[in-house]
Amino acid sequence: MSACLRQTVFIAPPVCVVAAELGCFADAGLTVETVLTNSSTAQRGQLLDVAFDLGVTALDNVIVWNAAGSGLRVIAQVESTTLLRLVARPGIGAVEGLRGARIGVDAVGHGFAVVLRHLLLARRLGAHDYELHPVGGVGQRFEALRRGAVDATLLGPPLDEIARQEGFSSLIEVAREVPDFPGQVIVARAAHLEEAGERLRRYLSALERARRWLHDAPDDAVVEVLSAGGYGPASARASLRTRPTSLVPSRAGFERLLAMRRDLDLMPATAPRFDDLYAGAALPGVTVP
């Protein structure tokens, strides 16, 4: 009989899709239910709800949530980086055109808003030069841009490509500007680690099998499997750039986020340390490189 795990995600990451499509979860004796969320606020509530076992989210979200006492732990990082592009309405052809603009974000104080503020400040746009408008996850941000509710926003594949095809301007590619920006992580409640430990070990072992396949398989085979799992051609191809070389979270990426927060004067009063955040020691028996 399969054990069940329930996870909350914005978009299922490639390694999870591959684990499902290739039967890695099933071989590990797991049934994994994936629930899509529409904002980090909603996702935090889900992660603290006993109905959910884990979630896929931005590492910066966890830093802020834990500073507020959420008690979450990172158990894996599932992409080498998160592909994001700052896209603006037609007529805004450069970052300088965002002065006075409304920029759509998921949350004003955490998540991808931090790297957005960092990139804008590097181009001499401070927090007083634009308005951050919380509209939700990537799908909600794309629709807000389309209907003119915001002037610009960060989008990932395939929505950034669709936006450019529809005439929106591409202003900044985050991976080029911040190559050590960390990819999304898998998190679980610290109090849940012992209770769900065996299921989580099976889950991580299945992900590691999928990760190794992603690393070794030809690009066309990866695109084929991701397409079967619901990815469009553009997003499947883009995901080739973010294949993780390990499921171990990047300490350098964590420190990069903290450095950006210090520069922006956004450090939480009780920011967690990397060793407090990563739960590798709490899940012994998982072999990852």
Domains identified in the chain and CATH numbers: 3-81+182-282 (3.40.190.10), 85-177 (3.40.190.10)
pLDDT of 287 above 50: no
pLDDT over threshold 60, residue 228 = yes
Alpha carbon distance 10, 1 (integer Å): 29
Average pLDDT over residues 191-213: 93
pLDDT of residue 52: 96
pLDDT of 285 over the 60 cut: no
User: Other C-beta atoms within 10 Å of 173: how many?
Assistant: 14
What's the pLDDT at 283? 57
Q: Indicate the SS3 state at residue 226.
A: helix
Query: With contact defined as beta carbons under 8 Å apart, do 9 and 82 qualify?
Result: no
Answering whether pTM is above 0.75, one says: yes
In this predicted structure, the answer to whether residue 112 has a pLDDT above a threshold of 50 is yes
Q: Among residues of the chain, what percentage have pLDDT more than 70?
A: 97
H, E, C per residue of 152-171? EEEECCCHHHHHHHCCCEEE
Q: What is the percent of the chain where pLDDT is above 90? A: 90
**pLDDT value for 2:** 82
Mean pLDDT of 15-32: 97
| Euclidean distance between CA atoms 185 and 76, whole angstroms | 6
Mean residue pLDDT across the chain: 94
Q: Would the pLDDT of 279 be above 90?
A: no
Structural tokens at position 142: 């794309």
The identity of residue 137, as a single letter, is G
Instruction: Mark 11-47 as b/e (b = at least 16 C-beta within 10 Å).
Output: bbbbbbbbbbbbebbeebebebeeeebebbeebbebb
